[in-house]
Amino acid sequence: MKLLYNPASPFARKVRAAAIELGLGDRIQLELTLVAPCKPNKDYASSHNPLRKIPALVTDGGMTIFDSTVICEYLDAMAGGATLVPREGDARWRVLTNHALAQGMCEAAVQVRYETWLRPEALRWQDFAIDQWDRIDTGIAWFERHAAELAGPVNLAHLTLGCTLGYLDFRWPERDWRTPNPAVAAWFSALKQRPSFALTAPENPPAS
Ligand SMILES: N[C@@H](CCC(=O)N[C@@H](CS)C(=O)NCC(=O)O)C(=O)O
Protein backbone atom coordinates (compact mmCIF):
# COMPACT_ATOMS: atom_id res chain seq x y z
CA MET A 1 0.00 0.00 0.00
CA LYS A 2 1.12 3.55 -0.65
CA LEU A 3 0.30 6.49 1.60
CA LEU A 4 0.35 9.91 -0.02
CA TYR A 5 1.44 12.08 2.85
CA ASN A 6 3.49 14.91 4.23
CA PRO A 7 5.64 14.38 7.35
CA ALA A 8 4.22 17.56 8.91
CA SER A 9 0.57 16.53 8.51
CA PRO A 10 -1.22 15.46 11.70
CA PHE A 11 -3.85 13.62 9.64
CA ALA A 12 -1.19 11.63 7.81
CA ARG A 13 0.47 10.93 11.16
CA LYS A 14 -2.83 9.58 12.46
CA VAL A 15 -2.86 7.01 9.65
CA ARG A 16 0.81 6.11 10.10
CA ALA A 17 0.35 5.70 13.85
CA ALA A 18 -2.78 3.59 13.29
CA ALA A 19 -0.87 1.33 10.89
CA ILE A 20 1.88 0.79 13.46
CA GLU A 21 -0.60 0.14 16.28
CA LEU A 22 -2.31 -2.44 14.05
CA GLY A 23 0.94 -4.19 13.11
CA LEU A 24 0.71 -2.97 9.51
CA GLY A 25 3.48 -0.36 9.59
CA ASP A 26 5.77 -2.28 7.26
CA ARG A 27 3.00 -2.73 4.68
CA ILE A 28 2.91 1.00 3.90
CA GLN A 29 5.21 2.91 1.59
CA LEU A 30 5.26 6.65 1.96
CA GLU A 31 5.08 9.07 -0.95
CA LEU A 32 5.57 12.76 -0.27
CA THR A 33 2.67 14.78 -1.69
CA LEU A 34 2.58 18.55 -1.50
CA VAL A 35 -0.81 20.22 -1.20
CA ALA A 36 -1.93 23.58 0.14
CA PRO A 37 -4.94 25.87 -0.22
CA CYS A 38 -4.67 28.16 -3.26
CA LYS A 39 -1.78 26.12 -4.67
CA PRO A 40 -3.72 23.51 -6.63
CA ASN A 41 -1.89 20.24 -7.15
CA LYS A 42 -3.95 19.34 -10.23
CA ASP A 43 -2.30 15.96 -10.81
CA TYR A 44 -3.17 14.87 -7.30
CA ALA A 45 -6.71 16.26 -7.64
CA SER A 46 -7.37 14.29 -10.80
CA SER A 47 -5.59 11.08 -9.85
CA HIS A 48 -6.41 10.77 -6.15
CA ASN A 49 -8.47 13.30 -4.19
CA PRO A 50 -10.48 16.07 -5.87
CA LEU A 51 -10.46 17.89 -2.52
CA ARG A 52 -6.65 18.06 -2.78
CA LYS A 53 -6.18 16.97 0.82
CA ILE A 54 -3.76 14.43 2.18
CA PRO A 55 -3.56 11.71 3.34
CA ALA A 56 -4.80 9.30 0.70
CA LEU A 57 -4.05 5.59 0.63
CA VAL A 58 -3.60 3.57 -2.56
CA THR A 59 -4.42 -0.02 -1.70
CA ASP A 60 -2.56 -3.03 -3.07
CA GLY A 61 -5.52 -3.46 -5.43
CA GLY A 62 -5.06 0.08 -6.77
CA MET A 63 -8.06 1.72 -5.07
CA THR A 64 -7.61 5.19 -3.56
CA ILE A 65 -9.09 5.74 -0.12
CA PHE A 66 -9.41 9.01 1.80
CA ASP A 67 -9.79 10.72 4.28
CA SER A 68 -7.70 9.84 7.35
CA THR A 69 -10.66 8.39 9.25
CA VAL A 70 -11.75 6.17 6.37
CA ILE A 71 -8.16 5.00 5.87
CA CYS A 72 -7.93 4.12 9.58
CA GLU A 73 -11.17 2.15 9.29
CA TYR A 74 -9.77 0.35 6.26
CA LEU A 75 -6.59 -0.58 8.13
CA ASP A 76 -8.56 -1.60 11.21
CA ALA A 77 -10.70 -3.93 9.07
CA MET A 78 -7.59 -5.32 7.39
CA ALA A 79 -6.14 -6.13 10.82
CA GLY A 80 -9.25 -8.02 11.86
CA GLY A 81 -11.56 -5.19 12.95
CA ALA A 82 -12.66 -3.42 16.13
CA THR A 83 -9.18 -2.63 17.47
CA LEU A 84 -9.37 1.14 16.96
CA VAL A 85 -13.16 1.50 17.23
CA PRO A 86 -15.25 -0.91 19.32
CA ARG A 87 -17.77 -2.78 17.20
CA GLU A 88 -20.89 -1.98 19.22
CA GLY A 89 -22.49 -0.61 22.35
CA ASP A 90 -21.90 2.63 24.20
CA ALA A 91 -18.13 2.13 23.89
CA ARG A 92 -18.40 2.49 20.11
CA TRP A 93 -20.35 5.77 20.27
CA ARG A 94 -18.06 7.17 22.96
CA VAL A 95 -14.95 6.49 20.88
CA LEU A 96 -16.55 7.92 17.74
CA THR A 97 -17.71 11.04 19.58
CA ASN A 98 -14.33 11.53 21.23
CA HIS A 99 -12.78 11.07 17.82
CA ALA A 100 -15.09 13.69 16.30
CA LEU A 101 -13.94 16.14 18.97
CA ALA A 102 -10.24 15.40 18.45
CA GLN A 103 -10.65 15.54 14.67
CA GLY A 104 -12.39 18.92 14.93
CA MET A 105 -9.58 20.21 17.14
CA CYS A 106 -7.04 19.01 14.58
CA GLU A 107 -8.93 20.72 11.77
CA ALA A 108 -9.03 23.93 13.82
CA ALA A 109 -5.25 23.74 14.38
CA VAL A 110 -4.61 23.35 10.64
CA GLN A 111 -6.93 26.33 10.00
CA VAL A 112 -4.88 28.43 12.44
CA ARG A 113 -1.73 27.44 10.61
CA TYR A 114 -3.19 28.51 7.25
CA GLU A 115 -4.65 31.71 8.67
CA THR A 116 -1.48 32.85 10.43
CA TRP A 117 1.19 31.58 8.03
CA LEU A 118 -0.16 30.87 4.56
CA ARG A 119 -2.70 33.68 4.15
CA PRO A 120 -1.15 36.89 2.84
CA GLU A 121 -0.43 39.12 5.81
CA ALA A 122 -2.71 41.95 4.72
CA LEU A 123 -5.69 39.56 4.56
CA ARG A 124 -5.23 37.84 7.91
CA TRP A 125 -8.27 37.75 10.19
CA GLN A 126 -7.01 37.64 13.75
CA ASP A 127 -10.41 36.96 15.33
CA PHE A 128 -10.78 33.85 13.19
CA ALA A 129 -7.51 32.43 14.53
CA ILE A 130 -8.50 33.34 18.10
CA ASP A 131 -11.82 31.57 17.60
CA GLN A 132 -10.10 28.41 16.32
CA TRP A 133 -7.73 28.48 19.31
CA ASP A 134 -10.74 28.70 21.60
CA ARG A 135 -12.15 25.50 20.09
CA ILE A 136 -8.80 23.74 20.51
CA ASP A 137 -8.31 24.92 24.10
CA THR A 138 -11.91 24.08 25.03
CA GLY A 139 -11.44 20.62 23.51
CA ILE A 140 -8.27 19.94 25.51
CA ALA A 141 -10.04 21.13 28.66
CA TRP A 142 -12.94 18.73 27.89
CA PHE A 143 -10.51 15.79 27.75
CA GLU A 144 -8.92 17.05 30.97
CA ARG A 145 -12.34 16.94 32.68
CA HIS A 146 -13.10 13.53 31.14
CA ALA A 147 -9.66 11.99 31.58
CA ALA A 148 -11.27 8.55 32.02
CA GLU A 149 -11.84 8.65 28.25
CA LEU A 150 -8.06 8.52 27.80
CA ALA A 151 -7.72 5.25 29.70
CA GLY A 152 -7.59 1.79 28.16
CA PRO A 153 -6.16 0.46 24.93
CA VAL A 154 -5.26 3.00 22.25
CA ASN A 155 -8.26 3.81 20.08
CA LEU A 156 -8.98 6.09 17.12
CA ALA A 157 -9.84 9.06 19.34
CA HIS A 158 -6.57 8.66 21.26
CA LEU A 159 -4.54 8.56 18.05
CA THR A 160 -6.26 11.68 16.73
CA LEU A 161 -5.91 13.61 19.97
CA GLY A 162 -2.25 12.59 20.21
CA CYS A 163 -1.57 13.78 16.66
CA THR A 164 -3.34 17.06 17.40
CA LEU A 165 -1.29 17.71 20.54
CA GLY A 166 1.88 16.72 18.68
CA TYR A 167 0.99 19.20 15.95
CA LEU A 168 0.47 21.97 18.53
CA ASP A 169 3.92 21.26 19.99
CA PHE A 170 5.45 21.17 16.51
CA ARG A 171 3.97 24.41 15.19
CA TRP A 172 3.54 26.42 18.39
CA PRO A 173 6.13 25.08 20.89
CA GLU A 174 5.76 28.27 22.95
CA ARG A 175 2.06 27.61 23.70
CA ASP A 176 1.66 26.01 27.10
CA TRP A 177 -1.41 23.77 26.94
CA ARG A 178 0.08 21.43 29.57
CA THR A 179 -0.07 23.52 32.76
CA PRO A 180 -3.87 23.88 32.74
CA ASN A 181 -4.31 20.25 31.58
CA PRO A 182 -2.01 18.02 33.67
CA ALA A 183 -3.92 14.77 33.12
CA VAL A 184 -3.88 15.20 29.33
CA ALA A 185 -0.20 16.18 29.51
CA ALA A 186 0.71 13.03 31.49
CA TRP A 187 -1.31 10.85 29.12
CA PHE A 188 0.36 12.42 26.06
CA SER A 189 3.81 12.00 27.49
CA ALA A 190 3.16 8.23 27.89
CA LEU A 191 1.61 8.00 24.41
CA LYS A 192 4.71 9.57 22.87
CA GLN A 193 6.80 6.64 24.14
CA ARG A 194 4.85 4.20 21.99
CA PRO A 195 6.52 3.25 18.69
CA SER A 196 3.46 4.54 16.82
CA PHE A 197 4.23 8.06 18.06
CA ALA A 198 8.00 7.87 18.55
CA LEU A 199 8.46 6.81 14.90
CA THR A 200 6.14 9.40 13.40
CA ALA A 201 7.16 12.69 15.04
CA PRO A 202 6.24 15.60 12.75
CA GLU A 203 8.87 17.27 10.62
CA ASN A 204 8.88 19.73 7.77
CA PRO A 205 9.09 18.19 4.30
CA PRO A 206 12.26 18.79 2.32
CA ALA A 207 12.14 22.23 0.66
CA SER A 208 10.60 21.92 -2.79
N1 LIG B 1 -10.59 15.50 6.89
C2 LIG B 1 -9.28 15.29 6.28
C3 LIG B 1 -8.41 16.50 6.56
C4 LIG B 1 -7.08 16.40 5.82
C5 LIG B 1 -6.36 17.74 5.74
O6 LIG B 1 -6.92 18.81 6.02
N7 LIG B 1 -5.08 17.67 5.34
C8 LIG B 1 -4.32 18.87 5.13
C9 LIG B 1 -2.87 18.67 5.48
S10 LIG B 1 -2.66 18.46 7.23
C11 LIG B 1 -4.38 19.20 3.65
O12 LIG B 1 -4.34 18.31 2.84
N13 LIG B 1 -4.44 20.49 3.30
C14 LIG B 1 -4.43 20.94 1.95
C15 LIG B 1 -5.59 21.82 1.62
O16 LIG B 1 -6.48 22.01 2.47
O17 LIG B 1 -5.61 22.32 0.49
C18 LIG B 1 -8.66 14.02 6.84
O19 LIG B 1 -8.99 13.64 7.97
O20 LIG B 1 -7.87 13.36 6.14
Is residue 49 in contact with ligand 1, taking CB distance under 6 Å?
Answer: no
Q: What DSSP line would sit under 81-150, residue for residue?
A: SSSSS-SSHHHHHHHHHHHHHHHHHHHHHHHHHIIIIIS-GGG--HHHHHHHHHHHHHHHHHHHHTGGGG
Pocket test for ligand 1, best of 4, 5, 11 (most atoms within 8 A of CB): 11
Q: What is the pLDDT of residue 174?
A: 98
The pLDDT tens digits of the residues spanning 111-133 come to 999 999 999 999 999 999 999 99
Regions in the chain scoring below 50 on pLDDT: none
CATH of domain 2-78: 3.40.30.10
pTM over 0.85: yes
Q: What is the pLDDT of residue 11?
A: 99
Q: What is the pLDDT of residue 208?
A: 60
Q: What is the pLDDT of residue 56?
A: 98
Residues of the chain with CATH 1.20.1050.10: 89-194
Q: What is the pLDDT of residue 168?
A: 98
Residues of the chain with CATH 3.40.30.10: 2-78
CATH of domain 89-194: 1.20.1050.10
